[in-house]
Homo-oligomer: A and B are copies of this chain.
Amino acid sequence: MNDITFASMQNDLLLRTARGEKVERPPVWLMRQAGRILPEYHALREKVNGFKALVENAELVCEVTLQPVKALGVDAAILFSDILVIPEAMGLPYQMIESKGPWFEKTIDEKKDIDKLKIAEADDLQFVMEGVKLIKKELNNTIPLIGFAGAPWTIFAYMTEGKGSKTFSKARTFLYREPEAAHNLLNKITDSTINYLQGQIISGVDIIQLFDSWAGILSPQQYKEFSLPYIERICNAIPAVPKIVFPKGAYFALEDFAKINCDVIGLDWNMDILNSKKIIGAEKVLQGNLDPCLLFADVNRIKKETIKMLSDFGGKHIANLGHGVYPDTPLDGVRCFIDAIKGFNY
């Protein structure tokens, strides 16, 4: 099924690159391209009652996903959604509090809280599945659609901490105090995530990304025990499409990621390109990693630094920022970044 899709896609640069093929130039998309950087997103947000009302409405999901495709000319669309739909589908609802972030009224504090959680099924997230189908129809095989989920450790961090945090000390303490219960919860999240991603793929996504946004707050030992094995299990369970992993801050685990069954490893802007290539080796495709702050600089500087980055990666590379684009980024800076990549030739 997927081969037919690929064969007829107008711009399949991202998929060819992710599969390790030699390409004419790097493909480009931006983490968080669908959302707050675009005025048309803000216009739409004003008409609906909160962030979750957007995420839970398949037609609006489709509209927001396509906004950056039209406005910026990126080489891929990424599903507009939230990693926290998974805890909610497992039975732990959350609120998105304006200018504060996610907040869980109830958190996972002990074993019996975990027992009450269900394994989420794709059917529990119909608004996502319907959204993917609508997007695919609208995209009409012009560019690929990226599906995504949070990595299990990152989801675990929110479910135990209950909100965003600089240190996630409650979540990390759980790992030390209740390692067995932690693995139990991580397994439930992993099973739910596999069901969810398989649903996204059946609905039409062409490639997936796992966001391990809070990878960088774990010690190397804890990361190896509580995050990496679950990402690996998800990658092994999803043979149908290429897989991107983005372990933000986990520089200490790049060597391990080189060995697991993923196709692309995302680098953040702290990670030195040449050094990361040396650690990871030539097997994997890399993604990233311009400092999102650079898009606030003048266009000459953006162009120069973007081209330097492309040269440093030197192939097997999906161009992106090293983190989600910041909400107040000037669109001229974003366009300059994209244009520099589209004008580049290996």
Contact = CB atoms under 8 A, between A and B. Distances in A.
Interface of A: 166-167, 169, 172-173, 175-177, 216-220, 222, 249, 251-252, 269-272, 275, 291-294, 296-298, 301, 322-323, 326
B252 A169 contact: no
A252 B251 CA distance: 9
5 contacts: A169-B292, A172-B291, A219-B291, A220-B270, A252-B275
A218 to B, nearest CB: 8
Nearest to A215: B270
Nearest to A176: B297
Q: Which 4 A-B pairs have the closest CB atoms?
A: A176-B297, A173-B296, A172-B293, A220-B272
A177 B291 contact: no
A251 to B, nearest CB: 6
B177 A298 contact: yes
Given A169-B326, A252-B272, A293 B176 contact: yes
A170 to B, nearest CB: 9
Contacts of A294: 176
Nearest to A220: B272
